[in-house]
């Protein structure tokens, strides 16, 4: 490695980066992946798929009773009505928060998450502390997120897996009767659809 | 009820000991996005069922934890990459030896590239035997 010249040096690629390059070049050579498709996947997940999709589902359910019953009956189809489907969204179940029940979602095994409606999961969702603690002490986790619920509210924890992914339908906050579907979609947060947050009126 | 103000999805600063992001970009480096996209594309091409992927990733996370990784989410795509390497070798698309040899070729290409230029892969340049 020792050489004595004075041109500027590239930062060497890390071992991890080299492993990805190795894998990519082998798969490209075998024509098992397509370079353009790879770029498209990255672009899609970076710019087009995210929690705004889920927020539109929630806002529609809040403003359209028929849609809401379809959503609770067959979430996958009702979500696809709005154009959201694909990997990790094949089998969806929507669980509704009420005055009596609060739902919260986790994947204890890895990080199963409804990509088409929420995008890719936040770091804390993939981290061991959340995955382990939410099952044992959901109230404690909610407290860390600044969410306090009445003592008699039942908390249900749903463990996502490869077959079934959950989306929480949060409670529509009071004082939002005059808001349009579009305005409502703007106040729905990602965390409220995981169950670690509540939606509040603006 | 509480007198704490409800927090927004992007405001996770009140949860200091849960690792968090800002609700923004999910990939912290281009290689993470690449590894992610390769996995999604291979699944779409039918190389494996999504449940096989989840099983492999879960195993990888468990074994990393067993080796002492606190698994705070920041090493997530490291586990992802290891799981992907494992699955493509289980599916006999390639072998760990071939992957290792290609990695050394890329290391050599990286070492020899000019400043600001992209590395050019020369097979065998890394010195390891390729097995086909």
List chain B residues with CB under 8 Å of A150: 1
- Same domain (yes/no): A40, A74: no
- Same domain (yes/no): A34, A103: no
- Same domain (yes/no): A167, A84: yes
| Chain A CB within 8 Å of residue B9 CB | yes
- Same domain (yes/no): A94, A33: no
Residues of A designated catalytic: 107, 110-112
Judge: A32–B45 Cβ closer than 8 Å, yes or no.
yes
Task: Kindly provide the ipTM of the predicted complex, given to two decimals.
Answer: 0.79
Q: Are A202 and A187 in contact (CB under 8 A)?
A: yes
Question: How would you classify residue B116: left for phi > 0, otherwise alpha for psi between -120 and 50, otherwise beta?
Answer: left
The tokens describing A13, both together, are 């690629």
Instruction: Give the mean model confidence (pLDDT) for residues B53-60.
Output: 93
- Same domain (yes/no): A161, A188: yes
Judge: B73–A126 Cβ closer than 8 Å, yes or no.
yes
| Chain A CB within 8 Å of residue B55 CB | yes
A5: in domain: no
- Same domain (yes/no): A124, A188: yes
Could you read off the pLDDT of B70-125 as tens digits, one per residue? 888 888 999 999 999 999 999 999 999 999 999 999 999 988 887 777 788 888 88
Q: Are A24 and A154 in contact (CB under 8 A)?
A: no
A1: in domain: no
Distance of CA A36 to the CA centre of its chain: 25
List chain B residues with CB under 8 Å of A141: 18
Judge: A124–B18 Cβ closer than 8 Å, yes or no.
yes
A25: in domain: yes
- The set of residues, in sequence order, having a beta carbon less than 8 Å from that of A60 and lying 6+ positions away, is A67, A82, A181
A183: in domain: yes
List chain A residues with CB under 8 Å of B105: 22
The tokens describing A167, both together, are 């989306």
Judge: A109–B14 Cβ closer than 8 Å, yes or no.
no
- Same domain (yes/no): A76, A158: yes
A81: in domain: yes
Could you read off the pLDDT of A112-154 as tens digits, one per residue? 899 999 988 888 898 888 998 999 999 999 999 999 999 999 9
- Among all residues of chain A, which has the CA nearest to that of B15? A144
Q: CA–CA separation, A108 vs A90, rounded Å?
A: 20
State the DSSP H helix or E strand holding residue A103, giving kind and residue range, or none if neither: strand A101-106
Could you read off the pLDDT of A79-99 as tens digits, one per residue? 999 999 888 888 999 999 999
| Chain A CB within 8 Å of residue B47 CB | yes
A201: in domain: no
- Same domain (yes/no): A128, A160: yes
Q: Which of A6, A23, A47 is the last residue of a domain?
A: A47
- Same domain (yes/no): A158, A108: yes
Q: Give the closest residue to B91 by CA, choosing from B59, B43, B129.
A: B43
Of B15, B38, B115, the CB nearest to A27: B38
Judge: B110–A18 Cβ closer than 8 Å, yes or no.
yes
- The set of residues, in sequence order, having a beta carbon less than 8 Å from that of A57 and lying 6+ positions away, is A71, A78, A79, A82, A84, A94, A117, A167
Could you read off the pLDDT of A11-70 as tens digits, one per residue? 889 999 999 999 999 999 999 999 899 988 888 887 788 899 999 999 999 999 999 999
The tokens describing A61, both together, are 């359910």
- Same domain (yes/no): A38, A58: no
State the DSSP H helix or E strand holding residue A104, giving kind and residue range, or none if neither: strand A101-106
- Same domain (yes/no): A27, A90: no
Please, is A139 exposed, middle or buried when counting C-beta atoms within 10 Å of its C-beta (0-12, 13-18, 19+)?
middle
| Chain A CB within 8 Å of residue B122 CB | no
- Same domain (yes/no): A37, A58: no
CATH code of the domain containing A83: 3.90.330.10
Query: Could you give the number of structural domains in chain A?
Result: 2
A6: in domain: no
Q: Which residues 84-113 in chain B show a CB within 8 A of chain A? A: 84-85, 88, 93-94, 98-100, 102-103, 105-107, 110-111, 113
- Whole domain around residue A97: which residue ranges? 50-194
């Amino acid at each position: 490695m020792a050489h004595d010249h004075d041109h500027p040096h590239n930062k060497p690629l890390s071992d991890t980066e080299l492993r990805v390059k190795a894998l990519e070049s082998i798969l490209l050579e075998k024509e098992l992946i397509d370079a353009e498709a790879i770029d498209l996947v990255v672009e899609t997940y970076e710019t087009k798929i995210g929690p705004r999709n889920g927020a539109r589902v929630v806002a529609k359910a809040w403003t359209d009773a028929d849609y809401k019953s379809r959503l609770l009956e067959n979430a996958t189809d009702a979500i696809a009505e709005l154009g959201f489907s694909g990997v990790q969204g094949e089998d969806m179940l929507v669980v509704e928060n009420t005055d009596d029940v609060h739902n919260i979602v986790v994947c204890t095994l890895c990080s199963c998450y409804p990509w088409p409606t929420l995008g890719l999961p936040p770091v804390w969702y993939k981290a061991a502390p959340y995955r382990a603690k939410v099952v044992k002490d959901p109230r404690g986790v909610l407290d860390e997120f600044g969410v306090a619920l009445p003592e008699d509210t039942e908390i249900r924890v749903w463990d996502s897996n490869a077959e079934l992914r959950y989306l929480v339908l949060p409670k529509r906050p009071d004082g939002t009767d005059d808001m349009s579907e579009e305005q409502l979609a703007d106040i729905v947060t990602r965390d409220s659809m995981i169950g670690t947050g509540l939606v509040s009126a603006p | 009820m509480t007198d704490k103000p409800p927090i927004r999805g992007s405001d996770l600063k009140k949860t200091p000991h849960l690792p968090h992001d800002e609700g923004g970009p999910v990939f912290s480096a281009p290689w993470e996005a690449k590894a992610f996209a390769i996995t999604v594309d291979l699944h779409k091409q039918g190389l494996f069922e999504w449940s096989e992927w989840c099983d492999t990733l879960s195993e990888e996370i468990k074994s990393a934890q067993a080796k002492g990784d606190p698994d705070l989410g920041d090493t997530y795509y490291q586990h992802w990459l290891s799981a992907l390497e494992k699955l493509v070798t289980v599916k006999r698309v390639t072998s760990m030896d071939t992957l290792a040899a290609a990695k050394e070729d890329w290391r050599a290409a990286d070492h020899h590239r000019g400043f600001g230029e992209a590395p050019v892969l020369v097979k065998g340049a890394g010195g390891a035997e390729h097995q086909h």
